[in-house]
């Protein structure tokens, strides 16, 4: 079983090398080192995920978002892909596709329902894990947002709201091809 995993990791590395070598405009600069990001023991061996993700997304460093880990970036790479974010013309549609946007049904001016629709995918779970990690942070804007929502509506609602906010940040970063400034 371990040998099959290593073979799969080697194939992924080969595919990434092919993608990077076929770029018309390769990325020359490197992202800053992330000492606070823990590398999971199950990550792909033989590549630096910080540099790989930076090159894969055209110079956008997704790891600058508080709470986003290497596993969340890998999930984003596998679920959405390089240009998949361009299929969503607004951040609201992206959050709705992830099932992170509230479903506000109104009839006759009266709100009938505001719950979040059921349904999920791997990216939603990764963003919820990132939001949960943000809830444990003390010194970040997202952490303060999380605590504000958690105080009013509870931790579960805060995780969903923060996951939606992280999804919107991801959408804006990739559509505008910019990295967050600290």
Would you tell me how many other CB atoms lie within 10 Å of the CB of residue 124?
A: 21
Q: Which residues of 8-46 are buried (b: 16+ CB within 10 A; e: fewer)?
A: ebeebeeebeeeeeeeeeebeeebeeeeeeeeeeeebee
Give the distance from CA 75 to its chain's centroid: 8
Query: What is the model's pLDDT at position 181?
Result: 62
Q: Identify how many contiguous H helices and E strands the chain contains and give both numbers.
A: 7, 2
Q: CB–CB of 143/131 below 8 Å?
A: no
Would you tell me how many other CB atoms lie within 10 Å of the CB of residue 55?
A: 19
Work out whether strand 110-113 and strand 105-107 pair parallel, antiparallel, or are unpaired: antiparallel
Would you tell me how many other CB atoms lie within 10 Å of the CB of residue 47?
A: 15
Domain ranges of the chain: 2-176
Query: What is the model's pLDDT at position 90?
Result: 92
Tell me the C-alpha to C-alpha distance, in Å, between residue 42 and each of 15, 37, 93: 19, 15, 32
Query: What is the model's pLDDT at position 171?
Result: 92
**pTM exceeding the 0.85 threshold for the entire prediction:** no
Q: CB–CB of 53/14 below 8 Å?
A: no
In order along its 182 residues, the chain shows pLDDT tens digits of 778 877 877 787 777 777 666 665 656 566 666 655 666 666 666 677 777 788 788 888 888 888 888 888 888 888 888 788 889 999 999 998 888 887 777 778 777 666 666 667 888 899 999 999 999 887 888 999 999 999 999 999 999 999 999 999 999 998 887 766 65
């Amino acid at each position: 079983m371990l040998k099959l995993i290593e073979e799969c990791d080697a194939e992924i590395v080969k595919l990434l090398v092919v993608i990077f070598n076929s770029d018309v405009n390769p990325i020359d600069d490197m992202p800053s080192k992330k000492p606070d990001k823990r590398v999971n023991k199950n990550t792909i061996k033989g590549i630096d995920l910080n540099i790989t993700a930076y090159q894969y997304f055209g110079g956008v460093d997704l790891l600058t978002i508080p709470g986003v880990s290497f596993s969340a970036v890998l999930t984003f790479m596998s679920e959405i892909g390089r240009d998949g974010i361009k299929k969503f013309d607004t951040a609201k549609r992206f959050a709705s596709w992830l099932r992170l946007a509230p479903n506000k049904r109104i009839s006759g001016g009266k709100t009938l329902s505001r719950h979040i629709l059921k349904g999920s995918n791997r990216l939603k779970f990764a963003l919820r894990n990132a939001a949960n990690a943000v809830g444990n942070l003390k010194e970040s804007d997202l952490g303060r947002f999380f605590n504000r929502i958690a105080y009013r509506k509870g931790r579960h609602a805060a995780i969903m709201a923060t996951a939606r906010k992280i999804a919107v940040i991801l959408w804006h970063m990739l559509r505008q091809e910019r990295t967050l400034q600290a």
